[in-house]
């Protein structure tokens, strides 16, 4: 008899675990801290679902989604028409939150505000500025003591939505960048060292005096990186913040298409931060019924109560009107 009870308990345990629906996703590193929080918190809402997510970059997420090796993808850059054409069934974009791509740098002993214009950002990443005390940087930062140290450019080495957002911005503000480099999740960088993910770029920045690179705002804040103020389309220098990202989105609301694929970089708002973006979850219209039901329920929560968790992690919640539109689109998932 003493062997029967453990067998019964084992069977009950197996039955309970079998009732948990496991959902797998992969993609953007940009929203990874928030998504991790969401998936953990949602388990309290519905213990019957376990959502696993690999932070491998937007390019990897799109690729795996098209290969149907995951249940959902994540990307900071909307998929292009040619990518969507490869999908087995239609793919829907769900904006989840907004974030900022910061220009973070490492200048030991520097305590002032570093201001950068669009032209300076382009020149730095085109490899046209070699030292931090270059006359062009000094002209925008009068009275600021700039060190005589070499500039080290840090960029992404993987296919990245953060790269797509950053290069989309540069292609809007610099004709030379648009012609020579262009935009996308992966580009041929003129100069610099590549780091994998926002995590990899952050690591290089922390350990490389003279370095400058682009990372999502949370990575800059939690790692206490120095960040530049950028001159926006209205001519004002703006430091990245949740409020500045929110303003960047506000000006674009009337122009957001039905499928939500839109760029909001270089927004015209007076206090808008110029390198801001939505980040997206990508779902097939049709998938396994059990998983589809769980994903739809999670999305409804993420676009509702989940928005309350965004600001504490330096993401901007979706404008209420846009969140309502995204929730309405959930009904189209089968």
- Answer yes or no: is pLDDT of 117 > 50: yes
How many domains are there within the chain? 2
pLDDT in tens, 75-116: 999 999 999 999 989 999 999 999 999 999 999 999 889 999
Closest CA to 152 of 179, 192, 111: 192
Q: Residue 293's domain is classified under what CATH number? A: 3.40.190.10
- Answer yes or no: is pLDDT of 16 > 80: no
What is the rounded average pLDDT for all residues in the chain? 93
Residue 42, judged by CB atoms within 10 A of its CB (0-12, 13-18, 19+), counts as buried
Q: Is the pTM of this model over 0.85?
A: yes
- Answer yes or no: is pLDDT of 158 > 80: yes
- Answer yes or no: is pLDDT of 4 > 80: no
pLDDT in tens, 260-302: 999 999 998 899 999 999 999 999 999 899 999 999 999 999 9
Q: Are residues 63 and 209 in the same domain?
A: no
Q: Are residues 131 and 171 in the same domain?
A: yes
Q: Are residues 250 and 108 in the same domain?
A: yes
Q: Are residues 245 and 106 in the same domain?
A: yes
- Answer yes or no: is pLDDT of 2 > 70: no
Q: Are residues 85 and 125 in the same domain?
A: no
Q: Are residues 199 and 321 in the same domain?
A: no
| DSSP code string of 116-169 | E-HHHHHHHHTT---BTT-HHHHHHSTT------B-EEEEESS--HHHHHHHHH
- Average pLDDT for 307-311: 97
Residue 4 lies in a domain: no
Cβ–Cβ under 8 Å, residues 28 and 55? yes
How many Å apart are CA 275 and CA 248, to the nearest integer? 9
- Answer yes or no: is pLDDT of 14 > 90: no
Residue 195 lies in a domain: yes
pLDDT in tens, 135-154: 999 999 999 999 999 999 99
Confidence class for position 19, pLDDT limits 50, 70, 90: confident
Q: What is the model's pLDDT at position 18?
A: 54
Domain that holds residue 236: 101-255
Residue 239 lies in a domain: yes
- Average pLDDT for 50-71: 96
| DSSP bridge pairs for 48 | none
Q: What is the model's pLDDT at position 254?
A: 83
How many Å apart are CA 248 and CA 2, to the nearest integer? 67
Residue 10 lies in a domain: no
Domain end, chosen from 195, 221, 255, is at 255
How many Å apart are CA 61 and CA 30, to the nearest integer? 12
Residue 148 lies in a domain: yes
Residue 262 lies in a domain: no
Residue 272 lies in a domain: no
Q: In the block, which residue shows the tokens 């960040």?
A: 227
- Average pLDDT for 302-321: 96
Q: Are residues 147 and 159 in the same domain?
A: yes
Q: Are residues 251 and 111 in the same domain?
A: yes
Residue 3 lies in a domain: no
Q: What is the model's pLDDT at position 256?
A: 92
pLDDT in tens, 184-226: 999 999 999 999 999 999 999 999 999 999 999 999 999 999 9
């Amino acid at each position: 008899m003493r062997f029967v009870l453990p067998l019964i308990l084992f069977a009950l345990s197996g039955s309970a675990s079998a009732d948990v629906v496991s959902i797998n996703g992969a993609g953007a590193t940009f929203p990874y801290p928030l998504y991790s929080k969401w998936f953990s918190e949602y388990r309290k809402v519905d213990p019957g679902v376990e959502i696993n997510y690999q932070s491998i970059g937007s390019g990897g997420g799109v690729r795996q989604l098209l290969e149907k090796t995951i249940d959902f993808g994540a990307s900071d850059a909307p998929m292009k028409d040619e990518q969507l054409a490869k999908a087995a069934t239609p793919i829907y974009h769900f904006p989840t939150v907004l974030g900022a791509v910061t220009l973070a740098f490492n200048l030991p002993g520097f305590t002032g505000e570093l201001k950068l214009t669009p032209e300076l950002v382009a020149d730095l990443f085109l490899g046209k500025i070699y030292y931090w005390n270059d006359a062009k940087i000094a002209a925008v930062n009068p009275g600021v003591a700039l060190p005589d140290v070499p500039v080290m450019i840090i960029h992404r080495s993987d296919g990245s939505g953060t790269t797509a957002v950053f290069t989309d911005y540069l292609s809007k503000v610099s004709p030379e960048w648009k012609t020579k480099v262009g935009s996308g999740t992966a580009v041929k960088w003129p100069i610099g060292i590549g780091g994998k993910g926002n995590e990899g770029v952050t690591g290089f920045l922390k350990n490389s005096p003279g370095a400058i690179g682009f990372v999502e705002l949370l990575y800059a804040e939690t790692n206490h990186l120095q960040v530049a103020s950028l001159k926006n389309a209205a001519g004002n220098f703006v430091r990245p913040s949740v409020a500045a990202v929110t303003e960047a989105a506000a000006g674009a609301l009337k122009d957001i298409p039905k499928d939500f694929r839109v760029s909001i970089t270089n927004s015209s708002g007076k206090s808008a931060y110029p390198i801001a973006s939505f980040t997206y979850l990508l779902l097939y219209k049709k998938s396994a019924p059990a998983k589809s039901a769980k994903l739809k329920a999670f999305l409804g929560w993420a676009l509702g109560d989940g928005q309350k968790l965004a600001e504490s992690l330096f993401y901007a919640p979706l404008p209420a009107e846009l969140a309502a539109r995204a929730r309405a689109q959930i009904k189209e998932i089968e």
